[in-house]
Structure 1
Amino acid sequence: MNAKRLTGLIAATYTPFDAVGQLRLEQTPQMVEHLIAAGVSGLYVCGSTGEGMSLTSAERRLVAESYVQAADGRLPVIIQVGHNSVVEAKQLAAHAQAIGADAVSATCPSYFKVQSAQLLVDCMREIAGGAPNLPFYYYHIPVLTGSSIDIAQFMQLGGQQIPNLVGLKYTDTKLHEFQQCLKLQNERFDVVWGCDEMLLGALASGSTGAIGSTYNIAAPLYHQIIAAFEAGDWNEARALQNQAIEMINAIGTFPFHSAMKAILGMLGYDFGDCRLPQRALTPDEKIRLRELLCQVGFFEGFVTR
């Protein structure tokens, strides 16, 4: 399948909830406008950041629809459809195609562990078959799925057996493996980086696109990293990447996505709290989070408002 490659910063979007944890999708258009203004070049919906695994399938359909409608064709929308039920994931993929999404992506089932690269291909072929007209990206995030399959072997086999497999969302820290996947079959696959704190290393390894959570709040910082890299100013690029690391470390002092939602609130985007099993930050924790962010200069030029 010929598909346009994902480039630049793709925001892994958050799902808005109200005070009692129900969907508050009237917030979606405001967030999409904010991300477009920040120069984000795509939206990755219902992934880990968007708490896709904590939503019902009916809710996932509604969230997907809200982002596709709000984007209105101005930037690509990728819908993450992974589910412990392969049948359910295939149905979510079909829905994504029906509503006009630009691509689908999926994690592997994680309760019953996938035991081989071929079995992973079998699962992803079934899911991708729900949206045969859309590009399909496998979502490799072993820290959450527990899958230890050789990802390069999967891509080799998948390229032969999954007609619409075009790429990979690579959310791991093994730059050598990421680079290996980039080079497979004469650079056939669109391999998109997924660890914000290592963006510079990924750029040096050949990345041209990245999907991440903190692009929701600090896209200007990452744009400056990319600009410094492209200009060959390695000292500046390293300094900027270090600022991103300091920001991420401050956020990671707390439950990460709960802290990110608290930051969205500080910036004027009320997306509520995360659903269980993730917990909300306490009022004292929110105060401490703001203090830590001030210490690393978060509100002084790199934040997306």
Structure 2
Amino acid sequence: MCSAQRAEGRAPCQSGSQSAMEGKRLVAATFTPLTDEGEINLSVIGPYVDYLTKKQGVKSIFVNGTTGEGMSLSVDERKMLAREWVEKARGKMDEVIVHIGCVSLKESQELARHAEEIGADSIALITPFFYKPTTADVLRKILLQVASVVPAMPIYYYHLPQVTGVNLSVADIVEGIEEFIPSFSGVKFSGVDLMDFGQCVRHSKDNWSLLYGVDEQLLAALALGADGGVGSTYNYVGGHFNQLISAFNEGNLTQARKIQFKLQELLSHAIKLGFNLGVNKQLMTDVSGLRLGPPRLPVTPCPQSVAKSVLQKYQSVFPEC
């Protein structure tokens, strides 16, 4: 789905639908449901899709990424999950982006072929981060080698420098990239360098989607030309951020800022308590009622006292949800 396609529908937590967003959209980076024993729990995915579409008004998802603990999953587990997400989202969602990045280029290619086989809408690739690319040219060659095995599949570059340690200029990576990767479709930009992001917008093509991945700074990215946001918090505040996008499109920056500041208030509180994936997954479990299970090591489960405090803060900041 390109940035011109729009989701429809309203949710109890939102006053504006994605159909009113002029092509800008939210993409929920989904958590991976696990059993208490740490095994994949596919039975939750159908209800999860329904929760996102009906309760949050979010109809695009990014699966097996950082929020989904993709790098802690085996290739077989990632295939199983990707297939289930695609099947359960069919007819209910507008877009399923499957993250296929691995330390091994061969495994990324394998997952890319599988994503195409199951009917995913697009794929995303984080850079290898053990042996790291040292130049934009090397990173572009990695993208090319993955794209070459699925030439008709739209592909995003997933930029997450605070985790990968690869902080190459994304603007340098994407400039002219369409000349040798015609299927290149955009960037999941999860860095905080807004100047680099702005230069990505400058070099972007009409058929690209530039999705900003730092939820607490979405409004700033929209002002620079982002096509939307992709992140974990849209699992449980997606309805509010649909409102933020609608307010931004209408020129109501006061309302847009009000919503952005609410998320910042919640995350500031959580960060003081040690906000990590375990805390985030527990908050989603508490808000949605879905049985998502604990995270996998090395991520540790959320302490009960922290879970209670973060949930109370969420309920005070977003009482209508």
Aligned to 1:13: 30
Q: Distance in 2 between matches of 1:185 and 1:202?
A: 14
Structure 1 residues 220 and 84: CA distance shift in structure 2, 3 A: same
Amino acid at match of 1:254: G
Aligned to 1:281: 302
How big is the shift at 1:180? Answer: 1.2
Aligned to 1:4: 2
Q: Distance in 1 between matches of 2:162 and 2:76?
A: 27
Q: Distance in 2 between matches of 1:20 and 1:261?
A: 16
How big is the shift at 1:157? Answer: 4.5
3-state SS of paired residue (1:64): helix
Q: Distance in 2 between matches of 1:8 and 1:27?
A: 24
Alignment of 1:134-149 (within 5 A): 134-149=153-168
Q: Distance in 1 between matches of 2:204 and 2:28?
A: 28
Alignment length, in residue pairs?
298
Alignment of 1:31-50 (within 5 A): 31-37=48-54, 38-50=56-68
Q: Which runs of 5+ in 2 are unaligned?
A: 6-23
Could you tell which deviates more after superposition, 85-94 or 279-288? Answer: 279-288
TM-score w.r.t. length of structure 1: 0.93
How big is the shift at 1:187? Answer: 5.0
Contact 2:169 2:196 in 1 (8 A): no
Instruction: Confirm or deny that 1:61 pairs with 2:82.
Output: no
Amino acid at match of 1:18: T
Q: Distance in 1 between matches of 2:261 and 2:208?
A: 29
Aligned to 2:134: 115
Could you tell which deviates more after superposition, 142-151 or 21-30? Answer: 142-151
Q: Distance in 1 between matches of 2:240 and 2:209?
A: 24
TM-score w.r.t. length of structure 2: 0.88
Could you tell which deviates more after superposition, 97-106 or 200-209? Answer: 200-209
Aligned to 1:159: 178
Aligned to 2:191: 172
Instruction: Confirm or deny that 1:292 pairs with 2:316.
Output: no
Amino acid at match of 1:50: G
Q: Distance in 1 between matches of 2:306 and 2:207?
A: 46
Q: Distance in 2 between matches of 1:297 and 1:185?
A: 36
How big is the shift at 1:175? Answer: 1.8
3-state SS of paired residue (1:34): helix
3-state SS of paired residue (2:97): strand
Aligned to 2:169: 150
Could you tell which deviates more after superposition, 134-143 or 241-250? Answer: 241-250
Could you tell which deviates more after superposition, 164-173 or 260-269? Answer: 260-269
How big is the shift at 1:221? Answer: 1.5
Amino acid at match of 1:62: M
- Calculate the aligned-residue CA RMSD, in Å: 1.6
Contact 2:26 2:58 in 1 (8 A): yes
Instruction: Confirm or deny that 1:248 pairs with 2:264.
Output: no
Aligned to 1:259: 279
Contact 2:121 2:154 in 1 (8 A): yes
How big is the shift at 1:124? Answer: 1.0
Identity of aligned residues (%): 32
Contact 1:96 1:131 in 2 (8 A): no
Q: Distance in 1 between matches of 2:86 and 2:304?
A: 34
Amino acid at match of 1:87: K
Amino acid at match of 1:58: D
Aligned to 1:70: 88
Q: Distance in 2 between matches of 1:10 and 1:223?
A: 11
